Amino acid sequence: MFKDLFINMTILISVISLGRQLGKELNPEGKDDLKTKLIVGFVLGIAACLLMVFSVRVGEIIIIDFRNIPIIISAILGGLLPALITAGIASVFRIIYFGTNFASFIAVVAAMINAVGCSYIVSKKLQLYKKWLYSTAFTLLVASFAFYLILEGGESPFPIILTYWLAFSVVSALTYWYVRYSLSSNRLFNRLRKESAKDFLTGLSNLRQFNAIFSHAIQTAIEQDESLSLLMIDIDFFKKVNDTYGHPEGDNVLKELAEILSRNCRRFDEVSRNGGEEFSVLLPDCSSQRAFQIAERIRAAVENHSFPLSTGEKINITVSIGVASYPDTLDEIERLVEKADEALYKAKRSGRNMVCS
């Protein structure tokens, strides 16, 4: 018996470990994504089936396993939908693998009740350990009642219920610890992944992310025979802002400028802070003429905007913008950054606060 229970615990840990890896590739927010919910429900449903394969038979019709723990995990991770999917897969497998009888019927009903009950518990604003504790207690009560119904009129259900409570409680506690560790680990991983791609000050893509997106955009433009434009943007005389008002105020100006850039670009354009006071805007499927219009709109928006300082004072700044477009202004798409930089320097040499291509 203890060997089979150990195998059940090993299966749970293996599935959770697999889930950890899947969680790194799925939606980082996880819980509200339909695809994530479906995958969680399916994977944990398979886990419940594996747990039943290595179940412990107690008597002629009673089977002890931990199939309800995947239901708890599904509810914790995604709510009602994945919990019902997990319970549904487990129920179908229970009937196919062990046959149709009164015990199977009770097991199916119990699984569905557990899915709904645990989902209701986790929907409440409780700490994770309380959600897990209450879900475990609810599952044990449902299982106890199921054992009582199945064994009514036969052998005493209490030794079986006691054995199940002890084994389930131990495995549930160990599983909770590992689930909590896995969730914490994935949150940290996703946060670091996000931070590694974002500029810490403005929230825009950083240079590393820009390079990755730029490489992908080049490939897409070539494969789909689309145009690709790039704006290189630099704040005019930004050093004077820092020297006059201090770096904290300069940081506020950079954050405000990032919002202006995002507002004046198309929804699918990629705005990045490439370093210091230099920004870029990658414009997929955008002709030279359209790119120039967007650049001029950005330039005018910055010129006409008053940037508030923490002292209550407002200042004005301007930007110079270089525009390069493939295939309108250059034939070699790999030189897009180089050409946009050249256009930017041309704008600065020509008096600043202008757009050049």
Out of 25, 195, 249, 277, which one is annotated catalytic? Answer: 277
3-state secondary structure of 263: helix
Q: Helix, strand, coil shares of the chain as percentages rounded to 5?
A: 65, 10, 20
Active site residue 25: no
Query: 343 is written with which tokens?
Result: 């256009």
Tell me the angle at which helices 80-98 and 34-53 cross, rounded to the nearest 10 degrees: 30
CA 40/CA 34 separation, integer angstroms: 10
Query: In whole angstroms, what is the distance from residue 303 CA to residue 321 CA?
Result: 12
Residue 205 has what DSSP assignment?
B
Neighbours of 168 (CB within 10 A): 20
C-alpha span between 327 and 242 (Å, rounded): 39
Enumerate the β-bridge partners of residue 198: 205
Catalytic residues: 277
